[in-house]
Amino acid sequence: MNIHRLTLCIILCLASIAAAAQISAPTLPDEVGTGRIPGARGYYYTDIDGEEVKMIVLNDVVVYPPLKFKNKKEEEFYWRTVRDVKKTLPYAKLICATLLETYEYIETFPTQKEREDYLKAMESAIFKQYKPVLKKFTKSQAQMLIKLIKRETNQNSYSIIKAFLGSFRAGFWQTFGRFFGVNLKGDFRPEKDRKDAIIERVACAVELGSI
């Protein structure tokens, strides 16, 4: 199995597990209510005085100072990051949106078998649609996808797969990923890690259409 197949398998797992995955909600004021289908970005539903209300989570507006590179290596990392974020951010957002939307839809099925049948059909459709693109991912882009999934969902890929497939299968994918330099437990901490901070800056710029 090469890095392209590994990346494809990971994204297929992630994109088809909304029925079981639990995504952490953003911190909200008490008067807003408790989210039923929370999401770090995008939208979710919450209960306010007994009424279900759709809440939109907007991206933060961030103003950055002029970027100064410490050395040539950091500048090369920046432009490589621009390339990889532009390619992978849409797929990270796709996964987040699919998790939220499928969570809503899957609740309408009365039995577990019907839920499983739907997830299998969706997985097959996603595989057919995105396989040609995902096969072209490089190792660095696979690593970037994992980081951006954490950014979008506030959960690492290992935790999401574990919620659906269980500890054994999640451990299998983690071990396999390690062979190809992809850590499914990888964190994303732009407030503490300089490289992650650059990724966050680039991702914000891509979202705003300024880069």
Count the domains in the chain. 1
Measured CA distances, 128 to 55, 80, 82, 93, 122 (Å): 32, 28, 28, 19, 10
Domain that holds residue 100: 3-22+67-208
Is residue 131 domain-resident? yes
Comparing CA positions, the residue from 67, 68, 45 lying closest to residue 57 is 45
CA–CA gap between residue 101 and residue 98 (Å, rounded): 5
Higher-pLDDT residue of 28 and 78 is 78
pLDDT bin (cut points 50, 70, 90) of residue 33 is very low
Of 54-63, 99-108, 109-118, the one with minimum mean pLDDT is: 99-108
Whether 25 has a pLDDT exceeding 90, the answer reads no
Is residue 45 domain-resident? no
Is residue 71 domain-resident? yes
Q: What is residue 153's predicted lDDT score, i.e. its pLDDT?
A: 78
Is residue 50 domain-resident? no
Non-local CB neighbours of 48 within 8 Å, separated by 6+ positions:
32, 33
Is residue 16 domain-resident? yes
CA–CA gap between residue 43 and residue 85 (Å, rounded): 22
Is residue 38 domain-resident? no
pLDDT bin (cut points 50, 70, 90) of residue 73 is very high
What sign has the CA pseudo-torsion 142, 120, 95, 89? positive
Is residue 57 domain-resident? no
Of 11-25, 59-73, 122-136, the one with minimum mean pLDDT is: 11-25
Is residue 36 domain-resident? no
Q: What is residue 199's predicted lDDT score, i.e. its pLDDT?
A: 94
pTM beyond cutoff 0.85: no
What sign has the CA pseudo-torsion 89, 81, 210, 133? negative
